[in-house]
Amino acid sequence: MTGQAAATAFVTGAGGFIGTELVKVLAGRGHRVFGLTRSADAARRVREAGGLPVMGDLLEPGRWLDDAAAEWVFHLPPHPVRERRVTWNRAASIGRTRVAMDTHLLDALAGSATRRIVYVADTSCYDGAAGPRAITEDEPVHPSQRGESLTPALDGVDGYLLTGLPIVTALPGWVYGNGSWFRERVIAPVMDGRRVLQFGSAGAWVSPVHVHDCARALVHLAEHGEVGGRYFVVNTEPVRLAEFAPTFARLADRPLRLLRLPAAAARVVVGPVMAHDLQTAAVFANIRLRAIGFRFRYPTLEQGLQQVVGALHE
C-alpha cells in the first residue's frame, strides 16, 4: 500500500491486457476489485489476477450496474491495435461502441459515491509530434486517422465533468509486455524462429510504456490525479517502432528474422487505419504524470524488455 486506505474498485475491460495487469496491481495493494468481463475465459483471468469477476456487458443493463458504483472506477476501452486489419468501417464501429459504453457507465455513476473515475483514452487523439520532440497534454487535440474515431468519446468526458463526475483521463502510449500485440507480433515469432513483419526501414517515433508501469500509473491517478486533468502515460524516452523486435531478440538471445515490406504495403496487410499509426510519429511528454509523484519501474524499453524476457524463463 502507499499510505492510502484500501478501496473498492470496479474495472471495465478487466480481462484484457492492461485490465488484467491493473487488477493484479490493485489486488496486490489490498484493494477489493470487481472486474467486468463478458466471457468465462476472461472471468478466469480476472480471478487469477486476484479480482472478483462480474459477468456483463457495458452495452446492456445487468448486475454490473450495482457493482460499478465503487470508490474507484477504471474504464478501459476496446482497442484496435491488436487486430490484424483495421478498416475505416471497423474503426468507426469501435468509436461508436466506445461512446455507447461511456454513456451507459457514466450515466450509471451519476449521483454515486465514487471518489475517482480513471477514464483510459488513447494518445491517437493527439497525433503525437513530428519526430522525437514530445508534446504535452496542453496541445490542442489533433487526432490521427485512428484517433478520429475515438475523439468523440474523449470530447464527451467534458460534458460529464460538468455534471460533477470526478473523472481523470489517462492516455497511454504503445503499451508492451507479455501479451496483446507485443506477444503476437514480436515475442511469439522471435521465440518460434519465425519472421517478424516490419514495414519500411525504421518505423515512426513512438512513446512506449511497460504494461506494469501503465497499470501502476492508473492506480496513481486514482490516488493523486487532478479531476478534469489529462495525463499521458508514457516513458520519457521515445523509440522507433523498429527497435522493439531487435531489442527483444537480443535480450532473449534469439536470432531475429525480419520480413521487410515497403511502408506502403501496410495499408494492405494491417489496413489503412493502423498503417497510418505505424507511419506517424506519436511522441508525448510525461511531465504532468511525474509532477504528481509517479516514478517508473521500467523507465526505458531496454529495462522493460529485460523484465519481459525474465518472466518468460520463470
pLDDT single digits (tens) 182-237: 999 999 999 999 999 888 777 788 999 999 999 999 999 999 999 999 999 999 99
- Helix, strand, or coil here: 197? strand
* Placement of cell 478487466 in the chain: 14
Return the half-sphere exposure (C-beta side, CA atoms, 13 A cut-off) of residue 253. 3
**What's the CA gap between 270 and 80, in Å, rounded?**
11
For 100-138, the pLDDT digits (tens) are: 999 999 999 998 999 999 999 988 888 766 556 788 999
The number of residues in the chain equals 314
C-alpha cell at 193: 524462429
pTM value is: 0.93
Domain boundaries 8-177+208-236+284-298, corresponding CATH code: 3.40.50.720
pLDDT in tens, 244-285: 999 999 999 999 999 988 877 777 777 776 777 777 778 999
CA pair distance 128, 134, nearest whole angstrom = 7
Residue 2's pLDDT band, with cuts at 50, 70 and 90, is: very low
Which phi-psi region, left, alpha or beta, contains residue 20 (left: φ > 0; alpha: ψ -120 to 50)? alpha
Domain boundaries in the chain?
A: 8-177+208-236+284-298
Identify which of 166, 218, 203 has the alpha carbon closest to the alpha carbon of residue 26. Answer: 218
Model pLDDT, residue 308: 98
Cβ of 114: how many Cβ atoms within 10 Å? 20
80: confidence class by pLDDT, cuts 50, 70, 90: very low
Residue 214 has phi, psi (to 5 degrees) of: -60, -45
